[in-house]
Amino acid sequence: MRILVINGPNINMLGIREPEVYGSKTYDELVEYIKAAARELSLEVEIFQSNSEGAIVDRIQEAYGKFDGIVINAAAYTHTSIAILDALKAVNIPAVEVHLTEPNEREAFRKVSYVGKACIERFAGLGFEGYRRAMEKLKNWVEIPR
């Protein structure tokens, strides 16, 4: 089973960006965590990060026919991007939304998730563990006939 993990804007700045909110672990540590979790779950994983909305839309479209599931942390685009929502809907690949923090406990504008409208599940506020749970969810979703 092939999973595409997409990380949006500023996730590459983990460890530098607001450590009081996001902690001190770096993006490289997140990538290693995701790879290790995928190995333990017997999944093939590809990890993509971009600060560009268009690049994220392009990567989602390119996933069509190549991946069995998408884990997406669209970061700030979660609350603004109808384009990413439309791309997820267009490819119709099961997707799970992930956030390192709990957006509902932060600023009011973070309470709206456009991306989540195309996702089968959401894991928020669990730090890196949210990615593992998202991959587990996708593995079970695809392996259990609906």
8 to 18, 40, 43, 140: CA distances (angstroms): 16, 25, 22, 25
Quick one: pLDDT at residue 89? Answer: 98
- Cα–Cα distance between 82 and 117 in angstroms, integer? 10
Banded pLDDT at 107 (limits 50, 70, 90): low
Quick one: pLDDT at residue 145? Answer: 61
Task: Name the average pLDDT for the chain.
Answer: 92
Quick one: pLDDT at residue 101? Answer: 83
Give residue 16's domain range.
Answer: 2-65+91-143
pLDDT at residue 102 tops 90: no
Section 16-28 average pLDDT: 79
Residue 77 lies in a domain: no
| Helix spans in 12-116 (H) | 19-22, 27-40, 53-62, 82-91
Catalytically active residues, by annotation: 22, 99
The CATH number linked to 131 is: 3.40.50.9100
Give the total number of structural domains in the chain.
1
Residue 85 lies in a domain: no
Read off the DSSP letter of residue 66.
T
- Cα–Cα distance between 44 and 4 in angstroms, integer? 9
Banded pLDDT at 109 (limits 50, 70, 90): low
Give residue-wise pLDDT tens across range 40-65: 999 999 999 999 999 999 999 999 99
pLDDT at residue 105 tops 90: no
